[in-house]
Structure 1
Amino acid sequence: MDEKKRIVVIGGGTGMPVLLRGLKNLPIDLTALVTVADDGGSTGRLRSEMDIPAPGDIRNVIAALSDVEPMLIELFQHRFANGNGLSGHSMGNLLLAAMTSITGDFYTGIKEISRVLNVKGTIYPISDENLYLHAEMTDGSIVSGESNIPLAQKKIKRVFLSPQLIHPFPGALQAIEQADLVVISPGSLYTSIMPNLIIPSVDKAIQKTNAQVVYVCNVMTQDGETTGYTASDHVKAISAHIGNGTIDKIIVQDEPISKAMQERYAKENAEPVINDVDVLKKMGLDVIEGDMIDHQRSALRHDTKKIAKLLYSIMSQK
């Protein structure tokens, strides 16, 4: 029997689970490398109180990859409301914090909860250290904290992590080295995607891997992060952080976004990302255009099945 092809997805935020939900049902060996730099809300409180890496993005990935009764996932994703010590906390974040406390190790906690929730694939935190994200703005100012960076409403020059000596999770590096396809997921470019890519050794592993590296480009710009960015601006930002020529292919949305949806996103100062295909091709990228949007949803999200099918076909062509 042929060995299953290996797909590694790197990211965080809302874009990554969408990709994973489609990929988990394919005959592949799937690994998710997830950011742990989030510091807002429930995640931020648990980080500071328990000195653990951020559980929020990991929780969403577990939910996306699990294969259990919907009610169990609803319970795992439940967020407590109103006026008590639990308000704002997510049940899944609390379970991850508790399991870390029981097992004495963040990754072992993830592994045990993944087992209980019948997760398809492997989930690694990009690092199991408590790390913090900072941004240097084009005006020279430094903004600290993942949740504060977009709020500064300044143009971002670069992002970096503290402490200085961060160790990537060993399994993450191995997964990138052994992959047949590495996928950089859509999501907040500087605060969900970049924190994974800039970890020492991860950037080198992505540069050196024999796998094709595919970037699924965001469909809309994000206020305070990528205002006015074209598709090539997204790639240039990644290249500026981890080196030129790292990305082989880019997937962009080529069907227009409906007027109603554009008006809705305009309230958040977001607009469709312009696909400057000629510039992308001059940069040496293979550009894959298509209608990748789930038109049934009230928010703009990639279509889980379409994107999974496309990624699988890219890997099968190799």
Structure 2
Amino acid sequence: MAKYKQKIVTFGGGTGQFHLLDGLRDLNETKLITAVASTWDSGGSSGRLRTELGVLPPGDLRRCMLALMEDENQRKVAQRLFDDRLEESSGPLKGHSIGNLITARLDHIYSGQDRGIVAERELFRIMAKIVPATITNVQLVAETKKGNIVIGEKNIDTRVKDKNFDPNDRIIRIYFDSRVDSNEDVLNAIKDADKIVFSPGDLYTSILPHLLVEGVTEAIIKSKAKLIIVLNLATKEGETDNFKASDFLKSFLFYLGNNKAIDYLIVNKNHLDKEILKVYKEEGQNLVIVDKEKCKKIAPNMKIINENVSRYLKNEHLFRHDPFKLANTILKLK
């Protein structure tokens, strides 16, 4: 299959960016892809390594590495290795993933995560660029409608588990606890890009924080690249309860500061049966309703791309973006 030759920059985190890159890898020249990974995780193995070793959280960088390995056999072995966790350990290594430890150790050996990432790319023969959103060590902060302040990505992500959680006390804004300097590699990639894509993912903890990094929003606005937003398939309890497409769109435009900045909004047109919807509803999630007319009023220059870009993993009861369908839809856009 002939590959596209587009300069693509992706922003995101978690499984959303992983699936996006998984598709782009096979359909586009990988050396033209730049994956910008979030670096403000404060929970899990990444958060512990950040606290104990003073490194930037390696989790999303690890996922980008896996998604962009071109050799299928290598990728399968690496995935088993990277995702393996030292659960049998009773010491300080217990629960850490091997992939996170490799990335963190290369950070130490090469005296900086940006240089460590280059070394890891060389080790696994990854042609695409993988860059941290910033190398500044910061905490993400959220402010709620009732004036509550939640500090740390993990606490924002899991606040729904707090016994005092109020579903009506929604997040109204996010910010970092200190100035976050931009990564020059990110700004240069934006400047040269043909397309800039924000992957699906947790809106307030994985996606929008990228726009808080100094210089990123300005670079995107100045860029001649097409700006593409991939709408989430479902809402998330505690973050985007009852959000419609227009609510996601307004959140992006608030941080972009320009209602003409977004060129395309990709939404999924595939609908699931009632049994699947019931499973998601029990977990506090609903499919995102696409209110097209309101979206058009908010961003009149933006085009809504309504395609079937999803798949249902029946055995796991998971509704996900399909890597091939999503990447193909993005690459076909003019």
User: TM tier, shorter chain?
Assistant: over 0.9
- Give the corresponding residue for 1:271: 286
Tell me how far 1:14 sits from its aligned partner: 1.2
Which of residues 139, 145, 151 is equivalent to 1:132?
139
Give the Cα–Cα distance (whole angstroms) in 2 for the partners of residues 122 and 35 of structure 1: 14
Residues 276 and 31 from structure 1, CA distance in 2 versus in 1: closer, same or farther, beyond 3 angstroms?
same
Give the Cα–Cα distance (whole angstroms) in 1 for the partners of residues 240 and 288 of structure 2: 9
Is 1:52–1:129's contact at 8 Å kept on the other side of the alignment?
A: no
Is 2:66–2:78's contact at 8 Å kept on the other side of the alignment?
A: no
- Give the corresponding residue for 1:21: 22
Tell me how far 1:5 sits from its aligned partner: 2.1
Is residue 2:44 matched to residue 1:33? no
Tell me how far 1:302 sits from its aligned partner: 0.5
**Superposed CA offset, 1:187-244 (max 9, x none):** 0000000121111100111111111100000000001100010011001011112213
> What amino acid is the match of 2:102?
L
Which of residues 301, 305, 308 is equivalent to 1:288?
305
Give the Cα–Cα distance (whole angstroms) in 2 for the partners of residues 210 and 197 of structure 1: 17
Q: Which moved more, 1:295-304 or 1:278-287?
A: 295-304
The DSSP-based 3-state class of the residue aligned with 1:14 is helix
- Give the corresponding residue for 2:165: none
Which of residues 110, 113, 119 is equivalent to 2:117?
110
Is 1:53–1:131's contact at 8 Å kept on the other side of the alignment?
A: no
> What amino acid is the match of 1:251?
I
Tell me how far 1:83 sits from its aligned partner: 5.0
- Give the corresponding residue for 2:215: 201
Tell me how far 1:82 sits from its aligned partner: 4.2
Is 1:181–1:211's contact at 8 Å kept on the other side of the alignment?
A: yes
- Give the corresponding residue for 2:166: none
> What amino acid is the match of 1:47?
R
CA RMSD after TM alignment: 1.5
Give the Cα–Cα distance (whole angstroms) in 2 for the partners of residues 210 and 77 of structure 1: 38
Tell me how far 1:280 sits from its aligned partner: 1.3
What 5-or-longer segments of structure 2 have no aligned partner?
A: 161-168
The DSSP-based 3-state class of the residue aligned with 2:131 is strand
Give the TM-score, by structure 1 length.
Answer: 0.94
Is 1:133–1:144's contact at 8 Å kept on the other side of the alignment?
A: yes
The DSSP-based 3-state class of the residue aligned with 1:5 is coil
- Give the corresponding residue for 1:66: 69
Is 1:36–1:57's contact at 8 Å kept on the other side of the alignment?
A: yes
- Identity among equivalent positions (%) equals 36
Tell me how far 1:112 sits from its aligned partner: 1.0
Residues 119 and 258 from structure 1, CA distance in 2 versus in 1: closer, same or farther, beyond 3 angstroms?
farther
Give the Cα–Cα distance (whole angstroms) in 2 for the partners of residues 307 and 75 of structure 1: 27
The DSSP-based 3-state class of the residue aligned with 1:37 is coil
Give the Cα–Cα distance (whole angstroms) in 2 for the partners of residues 83 and 100 of structure 1: 23
Give the Cα–Cα distance (whole angstroms) in 2 for the partners of residues 294 and 104 of structure 1: 41
- Give the corresponding residue for 2:5: 4
Is residue 2:273 matched to residue 1:258? yes
- Give the corresponding residue for 2:203: 189
Give the Cα–Cα distance (whole angstroms) in 2 for the partners of residues 57 and 310 of structure 1: 24
> What amino acid is the match of 2:247?
D
- Give the corresponding residue for 1:43: 46
> What amino acid is the match of 2:280?
Y
Give the Cα–Cα distance (whole angstroms) in 2 for the partners of residues 193 and 102 of structure 1: 30
Is 1:137–1:158's contact at 8 Å kept on the other side of the alignment?
A: yes
Give the Cα–Cα distance (whole angstroms) in 1 for the partners of residues 89 and 106 of structure 2: 25
What 5-or-longer segments of structure 1 have no aligned partner?
A: none
Tell me how far 1:261 sits from its aligned partner: 2.1
Tell me how far 1:98 sits from its aligned partner: 0.6
Give the Cα–Cα distance (whole angstroms) in 2 for the partners of residues 257 and 191 of structure 1: 27
Give the Cα–Cα distance (whole angstroms) in 2 for the partners of residues 205 and 260 of structure 1: 44
Tell me how far 1:152 sits from its aligned partner: 2.9
The DSSP-based 3-state class of the residue aligned with 1:294 is strand
